[in-house]
């Protein structure tokens, strides 16, 4: 069993919530930027080709944020697995998405050890 101080767990949980909120805020900001670019181009009567590369770059950036968010969710699952094997397994830190079921933790643990 892992021995983790509750204060340490609280810090990790708070940083986890902040990080997820930051990633989501980044995605929203990029979506707003993409919309602003389209609106500005439309209002300025720019030809479609004038902003195509720009929109592709913004869209690619958004795709990368989503890919990073996927990896972050994987990291959150791994944190929850560590917690489930610790003295803090019964402590709810308010992590994004809440605690997974024991069955899902066992399945994830099996995938990691395989």
The neighbouring-strand residues paired with 2 are 86
Residue 50 within a domain: yes
Confidence of residue 94 (pLDDT cuts 50, 70, 90): low
Q: What's the half-sphere exposure (Cβ side, CA atoms, 13 Å) at 43?
A: 6
Question: Could you list the residue range(s) of the whole structural domain that residue 13 is in?
Answer: 6-113
Q: In angstroms, rounded to a whole number, what is the distance separating the alpha carbons of residues 89 and 95?
A: 13
Q: Is residue 77 part of a domain?
A: yes
What pLDDT shows up at residue 10?
A: 82
Q: What is the C-alpha separation between 91 and 28, in angstroms, rounded?
A: 32
Helices within 44-90 (DSSP H only): 48-84
pLDDT by residue (tens digit) across 23-35? 999 999 999 999 9
C-alpha to C-alpha distance for 86 and 83, rounded to whole angstroms: 5
The total number of structural domains that make up the chain: 1
Stated pTM of the model: 0.72
Which pLDDT tens digit goes with each residue over 36-90?
Answer: 999 999 999 999 999 999 999 999 999 999 999 999 999 988 988 888 888 877 6
86 bridge partner residues? 2
Q: Where are the beta strands (DSSP E) in the chain?
A: none
């Amino acid at each position: 069993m892992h021995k983790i101080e509750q204060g340490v767990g609280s810090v990790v949980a708070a940083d986890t919530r902040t990080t997820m909120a930051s990633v989501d805020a980044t995605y929203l900001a990029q979506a707003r930027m993409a919309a602003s670019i389209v609106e500005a181009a439309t209002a300025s009567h720019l030809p479609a080709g004038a902003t195509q590369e720009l929109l592709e770059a913004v869209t690619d950036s958004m795709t990368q944020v989503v890919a990073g968010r996927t990896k972050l969710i994987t990291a959150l699952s791994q944190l929850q697995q560590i917690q489930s094997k610790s003295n803090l397994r019964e402590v709810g830190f308010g992590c994004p998405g809440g605690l997974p079921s024991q069955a899902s933790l066992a399945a994830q643990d099996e995938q990691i050890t395989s």
